[in-house]
Amino acid sequence: MPQPILYFVRHGETDWNRERRLQGQHDIPLNPLGRSQAQRCGVLLRDLLARGGRSITDYDYVSSPLGRARETMELMRGTMALEPSLYRTDARLMEMSFGRWEGFTYAELQVREAAALVERERDKWGFVLPGGESYAQLEARVQVWYDGIRRETVATAHGGVCRVLMAHLGLVQPSEASMGDIGQGVVYVFDGHTMTRHE
C-alpha cells in the first residue's frame, strides 16, 4: 500500500526566527510576517488539494502543540474556508528540544558554549544538546508518527521535523538535512519517495 501524501508546512516566522534565536520548545508567537506566511500557505494548499479532485475536508489535519504551529494551522484553515479549530495536535511533532541553548543565538553560544559547539560539529546528527535532544532522537519520534499516517494529511510543525522527515525518507543524508534551510510560507509535499516544494 503506498504511503499517503503528506502536505507539510513549517510554522510562519516569529521574532525569534528573525533574531536567529534557537526556539526549540519555547512557545513564541508568530509575528506579522509569520501570519501572512501562514495565510499564503492556506492559498497554496487550497490549490494543491483541489488538484486531487477531492474535498479539502477529506484530509487529516494535525499540528505540533506549540502555539506557533497551531496558529499557522488555524490561519491556513481560515484562509481555506475551513473551521480554524477542527484539527488534531500530536506531541511527536514538537520541535527538537535545544535544552539550555534555547533563547540564544549562535553568536551568543560561541561565547558561552564554545567547546560544546565544536563537539556538535563532529556529529551534528547524533549530538545531544545540553538538557535537550539530538536530531537522531527527534527522528525516532517523528518516524513513529509518520509511519502511522493512514490517510493524506496536512501537518504544521517545525524546521527540525521537516529535516528529519527528509532524512528518514532517504531524500538527503543526515549531515545534509541538519544544515538545510527549511522555508516559511512554503508547502512541502512528501509522497514517500520524493519531496516537492511549493511557494
pLDDT, one tens digit per residue, over 138-195 is: 999 999 999 999 999 999 999 999 999 999 999 999 888 888 789 999 999 999 899 9
pTM score:
0.94
CA–CA gap between residue 165 and residue 177 (Å, rounded): 9
User: CATH class for domain 6-198?
Assistant: alpha beta
The whole-number pLDDT of residue 43 equals 97
CA–CA gap between residue 110 and residue 118 (Å, rounded): 9
CA–CA gap between residue 85 and residue 73 (Å, rounded): 9
Please state the separation of Cα 59 from the chain's center in Å. 18
The whole-number pLDDT of residue 54 equals 82
Average pLDDT across each block of 10 residues of the chain; the chain has 199 residues. List them in order: 92 97 96 98 94 88 98 98 98 97 93 90 92 96 96 97 95 86 96 94
Q: Hey, which residues are catalytic here?
A: 11, 95
Closest CA to 47 of 74, 76, 71, 69: 76
The whole-number pLDDT of residue 10 equals 98
Q: Which residue has the cell 545540553?
A: 130
CA–CA gap between residue 109 and residue 168 (Å, rounded): 29
The whole-number pLDDT of residue 1 equals 67
The whole-number pLDDT of residue 63 equals 98
CA–CA gap between residue 163 and residue 189 (Å, rounded): 13
Q: How far apart are the first and last CA of the chain?
A: 29
